[in-house]
Structure 1
Amino acid sequence: MEEEPDSHDAPAMESSHNTPSPSHLPAEDSEITPPVDAPRTTAPLPGSGGDTPPQGASAASGRKRRRRDKQFPEMIPTACLRVLRPTTARPASVVYSEKLVDELIRMQVNEAASRRRGRGRPPSSSLRLARELDVEALIAMAVGFPVDSLTEEEIEANVVPVLGGAAQSNYIVVRNHILARWRSNASVWITEAHAMESIRSEHRALVSAAYAFLLDHGFINFGLAPAIITAPPRRPPSLPAPSVLVVGAGLAGLAAARHLISLGFKVAILEGRRRPGGRVFTKKMESCASSTTPAVVATADLGGSVLTGINGNPLGVLARQLGFPLHKIRDLCPLYLPDGRPVDPAIDARLEAAFNQLLDKVCKFRQAVTDELKSVDVSLGTALEAFRKAYGFADSSEERMLLDWHLANLEYANAAPLSDLSMVYWDQDDPYEMGGDHCFIPGGNARFVRALAENIPIFYGRRVIRIQYGCDGVMVYADGQVFLGDMALCTVPLGVLKKGCIEFVPELPKEKQEAIKRLGFGLLNKVLMLFPHDFWGGGIDTFGHLTEDPSNRGEFFLFYSYSSVSGGPLLVALVAGEAAIKFETSSPIKHVERALEVLKGIFAPKGIEVPEPLQVICTRWGSDRFTYGSYSYVAVGSSGDDYDILAESVGDGRVFFAGEATNRRYPATMHGALLSGFREATNMARATRRRSMMPVGEGRC
């Protein structure tokens, strides 16, 4: 997940054409409307050749990190076919209809269908049913469920009376079927009766268990479709509605608030900024109009901007419900040397392979070492450099620049210099990565934020400084006011917790304090430039730049073109690794001058003039007092366990924690933040039920 600055405190600086010094951003922006797509008249980037990869074209940067092939074990045992009714009149909604489907999933399903079909023989009803089961299992996998086992949450919820055996296998089929059926049309509210329509009556108990689990945990019937948001609260009217104070109106806080309200809770959000969204911040950029020239307008995501994998992604569900189009980020990414020449494709391919070999060697090394040696963690950067020297990779200057570019891209993925990343656990979340395309939302991700925040009670300008909790509830102190509630949900970024900006009374358990210290919270900064016209061409979404200085490899190493989604000629330069840290204390004017120097070095040799930008914004996430950084990473000495520790509640179910840094499977992503909000809303409901069943005076603290 990329991050954003806070306009209220102005860590992001902006400048305009003919303005000698940067000025602060305004506290609030006018309403941002999505752009209207128009035919493009600009030519492709010189050397791109349309859809044909140009010299030095790399597909690697289309993904923030190297993707690994997902393993698809045998899907569903044939005995489980008895769970569903083998009728040819299947409900049409059973077929998963999401447009952006991972190619790997398509291949798996098609190959399975071909194997079953035989030689030109039409499939029988049982074979069609088996094929549906495979599709439904793949959908469940995309959402994060294991193929042939239960999740820890399902085991805790006692969804089956006995673990293992036929009951568990049948439950998995039922769960996958309900999930796939709702995902095929996420704009409707699926009831338990609807789920039961195509399942044999003897499995009614399994349907009830699976439906309740999926509903309570936010896997079905979530989002912003009219049928979803108008559904009545599900809390029994005989029980009093508990009150929850949510600290932070980012994606985690907004998702939790919506889910809690649907469960019948009373909710209020306390937000320190003057706007919702947290690290998701869409800024309207605009030039001044003149008598002869109309204003140039674009929408820019200063923070979280990329939907990293659309299959199973809850943000993809929200986009479909709201009718938001998705723009697939194209894999084509030309790379350019400092003098503007395109990188030789043979060298590019060789160095990309060498880069992947280096990562593979580190991976094999850590698999081979004992647990005792793993406890003495070293940085990923140290390990990569040791293997590079040992095997003689990237000896020439051009090869070294190319390798540094890939290393900078890895630093971008993790928001940290490689010298800070744990060699052992830096990629612990890779097995859970969402499949499918990486996408932009035309008009910016604030469209999600506005929809999620609608009709939610939010108190803006309330910076929380203290959370006090005990047997009777919580007291939250914010800007001279005290708010009382039964429970509190803290969704502030890890950087805020690291700075100790919020006092917890009693103090947090030692284990949680140590996890906060161990986990990393890094930096990614951006220079967003609005130009008079799209001089770089509209045929690509990214292009890269190599540098001769290894210590500054992350400075403007990658450019994103937002012209196709922002409504105007917007170019965004990324600053990662050590360069992002130095970026915080340097002059914004010098950053802009340097970015233009890089662009002119690429385009001037091709006879293309780079105009002066009409408006520029430089982010400073490390200086933002509401974030103190961009997103989390696994630092040296840390592990994925620290995400779980950070997610644990304290005070016997009085204070809960959400946010991307509490999501072990999907850290550093927008969907990870959203899912953590759903998770904690469910945990708060469970804690409330547990307290309500306790005798008066026993264990109520």
Structure 2
Amino acid sequence: MVSAQQEPRILILGGGVTGIIAARTLHERGIDNFLIIEARNELGGRMRSHSFGNSTIELGANWIQGTQEGDGPANPILVLAEKHGVKTHYNDLYGSLTTFDVTGAVDYVDTFNGYVNASDEVSVVAGARVQRGLVDASSRTGFSVIGSKPKTAQEIASQYFIFAQAPDQSSWLASAWNSNFTYVPEAGGFADEDLLSVDQRGFKTLIQEEANEFLSPGQLLLNTTVAKILYSEDGVMVSFANGSTIEGDFALCTFSLGVLQNDDVLFEPELPAFKTEAIQSSVMATYTKIFLKFPQKFWFDTEMAMYADTERGRYPIWQSLDHPNFLPGSGILFVTVTGDFSIRIESLPDEVVKAEVLEVLATMYPETSIPEPTDFFFYRWNLDPLYRGSYSNWPPSFLVEHHGNLRANVERLYFAGEATSKHSYGFLHGAYDEGLQIATILADCIDTGKCDGLPHVEDVLNVHSYDL
């Protein structure tokens, strides 16, 4: 029972989208005794901008994914961007594409379009499996079931472009509903459209400006890293890396799944087995954008390009920011790698990675003398103890009961973030929605004095026992 004599204090751990929207939700409910604790010197979480070659680039979140169709539901990230005047532009990810392989420029757009269609079919079949209550499998299984089995480098690159995370590490069913709840209005999504942020204040502006509307200085503590969280049925105490502590009646932990998996923050007592299993059963994906600035543009005129190497995931997805729709005249080009390849390059010196990227560019343009870039940068998301990756991904072995356990509170310690969103994990709007929903549960608890918390199961069981 929460005491009605004094408004309880809520510690919001992390100042990303989830933390800010949770704080705003509490404020709108008339609850202002909260403190946002953020390790960095600014709000934004994984919305991180960087000054690069006289331009502002986005190291992490970069797109509003799924917008609005007609007067249907709007992506809340779109609403914030429009409210705060954040400049974006439609990014034609699939329709403005030049293709390359180890021989140079070669047109295999038809092959790519075939995999776009295959991806749609995989989602349709997944939806039917959900309705019939059939078992989940990997996305690789889904593609194989419909007869889509990439063998050539061009086919493998095409599937990678659409499905950047390894298909054998991704849930077939969850991947389908994750996409549908974002891009398909008929399935509860917004619209099949992506907007790229090109705002030179940084994409993070939309959440920072939102915070400025209601936060007072006493509700924010920056440059403070959490080291340990002590929790009980009576409250929480948070210990910081500098040795100081702070107490609260409740805490909302919005740290990334990767931070929780890597024990970068300790819990006392240790989290219960059901919670630990849920945390360790999910996957923290890494998505790395490698930026180059050149004295002049020599590359493709489309927005996007794809390179098919003999090795899957070797510098395959390219995007030009020096494009009329984005940052014309900037001389900036970037290439994206993910997963194990991201982990690999994070262990290498910048000069080695740059040499590899330039080697690929030379392969793509065998008749062109590739100039030395005047600037080069990529962020090591997996190595950073504040993130340990870019966003969560739902693997085939992660069951809905695991998801419920990941989301469940432990005593007065609550959890929220994009990883706890069933429909929209991995997306900014998933982070937004979880901040809203979990803060609403906390506000109801405080207002009514009844704090039942979120449900969980002690053991995640098979429907059938093993017959060995």
- Same fold, TM exceeding 0.5? yes
CA displacement, residues 40-67 of structure 1 (integer Å, 9 cap, x when unaligned): xxxxxxxxxxxxxxxxxxxxxxxxxxxx
Q: d(CA) in 1 for partners of 2:440 and 2:148? A: 52
Counterpart mapping for 1:246-645 below 5 A:
246-264=12-30, 265-286=32-53, 297-311=54-68, 312-330=74-92, 331-350=95-114, 352-353=116-117, 359=122, 363=126, 371=134, 374=135, 378-381=137-140, 384=143, 387=145, 400-412=152-164, 416-433=165-182, 434-443=190-199, 444-454=202-212, 455-456=215-216, 457-479=219-241, 480-536=243-299, 539-549=301-311, 553-563=312-322, 564-566=325-327, 568-605=330-367, 609-645=369-405
Corresponding position of 2:457:
none
Corresponding position of 1:673:
431
Q: d(CA) in 2 for partners of 1:442 and 1:350? A: 30
Corresponding position of 1:655:
413
3-state SS of paired residue (2:316): strand
Query: Where does the alignment leave 5 or more consecutive residues of structure 2 unmatched?
Result: 69-73, 183-189, 453-468
Q: d(CA) in 2 for partners of 1:559 and 1:623? A: 23
Shift of residue 366, structure 1, vs aligned partner: 5.3
Structure showing the higher helix proportion among its residues: 1
Q: d(CA) in 1 for partners of 2:148 and 2:313? A: 23
Q: d(CA) in 2 for partners of 1:469 and 1:458? A: 21
Contact 1:660 1:673 in 2 (8 A): yes
Q: d(CA) in 1 for partners of 2:84 and 2:253? A: 28
Shift of residue 597, structure 1, vs aligned partner: 2.1
Structure showing the higher strand proportion among its residues: 2
Contact 1:300 1:566 in 2 (8 A): no
Contact 1:560 1:571 in 2 (8 A): yes
- TM norm structure 2: 0.82
Contact 1:521 1:629 in 2 (8 A): yes
Q: d(CA) in 1 for partners of 2:97 and 2:429? A: 25
Q: d(CA) in 2 for partners of 1:381 and 1:283? A: 35
Query: Where does the alignment leave 5 or more consecutive residues of structure 1 unmatched?
Result: 1-237, 287-296, 695-701
3-state SS of paired residue (1:556): coil
Counterpart mapping for 1:200-215 below 5 A:
none
Q: d(CA) in 2 for partners of 1:453 and 1:591? A: 37
Contact 1:305 1:445 in 2 (8 A): yes
Specify the code of the residue in structure 1 equivalent to 2:198: P
Q: d(CA) in 1 for partners of 2:115 and 2:159? A: 11
3-state SS of paired residue (1:488): strand
3-state SS of paired residue (1:666): coil
Specify the code of the residue in structure 2 equivalent to 1:333: L
Shift of residue 367, structure 1, vs aligned partner: 6.4
CA displacement, residues 672-697 of structure 1 (integer Å, 9 cap, x when unaligned): 11221111221110010221799xxx
Corresponding position of 2:449:
691
Q: d(CA) in 1 for partners of 2:150 and 2:391? A: 30
CA displacement, residues 178-229 of structure 1 (integer Å, 9 cap, x when unaligned): xxxxxxxxxxxxxxxxxxxxxxxxxxxxxxxxxxxxxxxxxxxxxxxxxxxx
% same residue:
25
Contact 2:230 2:238 in 1 (8 A): yes
3-state SS of paired residue (1:664): coil
CA displacement, residues 508-552 of structure 1 (integer Å, 9 cap, x when unaligned): 333222111111112111211122233336x53211111122xxx
> How many correspondences in the alignment?
424
Choose 1 or 2 for highest CA Rg: 1
CA displacement, residues 259-309 of structure 1 (integer Å, 9 cap, x when unaligned): 2223232121112233322211000113xxxxxxxxxx1111111111101
3-state SS of paired residue (1:246): strand
Corresponding position of 2:461:
none
Q: d(CA) in 2 for partners of 1:242 and 1:370? A: 43
Specify the code of the residue in structure 2 equivalent to 1:429: N
CA displacement, residues 356-406 of structure 1 (integer Å, 9 cap, x when unaligned): 66x3697499569975xx3xx65333564x558xx59556xxxx1222013
Shift of residue 596, structure 1, vs aligned partner: 1.7
CA displacement, residues 159-192 of structure 1 (integer Å, 9 cap, x when unaligned): xxxxxxxxxxxxxxxxxxxxxxxxxxxxxxxxxx
Change in Cα spacing, 1:693 to 1:500, as seen in structure 2 (3 Å) is closer
Change in Cα spacing, 1:466 to 1:599, as seen in structure 2 (3 Å) is same
Q: d(CA) in 2 for partners of 1:417 and 1:577? A: 7
Change in Cα spacing, 1:392 to 1:692, as seen in structure 2 (3 Å) is closer
Corresponding position of 1:241:
7
Shift of residue 420, structure 1, vs aligned partner: 1.8
3-state SS of paired residue (2:362): helix
Q: d(CA) in 1 for partners of 2:158 and 2:292? A: 24
Contact 1:405 1:554 in 2 (8 A): yes
Contact 1:305 1:440 in 2 (8 A): yes
Q: d(CA) in 1 for partners of 2:80 and 2:15? A: 17
3-state SS of paired residue (1:687): helix
Q: d(CA) in 2 for partners of 1:544 and 1:571? A: 13
3-state SS of paired residue (1:316): helix
3-state SS of paired residue (1:611): coil
Q: d(CA) in 2 for partners of 1:280 and 1:337? A: 32
Contact 1:408 1:576 in 2 (8 A): no
